[in-house]
Amino acid sequence: MATMRRPRLAAVKALSGHRLRLTFIDGSVYTVSLAGEFDKFPGLAPLRDLKAFAKAVVIEGEGWTVEWPALDIQIGADTLWLDAQAQNSSEHSA
């Protein structure tokens, strides 16, 4: 069960394999893979480039999105939190 009213990010770190390590303000940490998203969401295609993907940031003092400012790409914290829950759930049920 969620402990936050609305998920908000404290930090993000880009990992190999197009994964993000997400730290939320409640202290929870999840790793989310975006590798399967590029074909589904063409707007994310520039993130296939590992150097570009590595530039993921959370705007200090905000935390509502992970952003790639040079590419004008944002993914909402709520979307990432839901993806983390789904991926975490499927990993444990496999």
Q: Which sequence spans correspond to the domains of the chain?
A: 9-93
What beta strand segments (E) does the chain contain? 9-15, 19-24, 29-33, 65-68, 73-76
pLDDT interval class at 69 (50, 70, 90):
very high
The pTM score is 0.87
pLDDT, one tens digit per residue, over 12-31 is 999 999 999 999 999 999 99
| C-alpha closest to that of 66 among 77, 55, 78 | 77
* CATH, range 9-93: 3.30.2020.10
* 30 Rama class: left (phi>0) / alpha (psi -120 to 50) / beta: beta
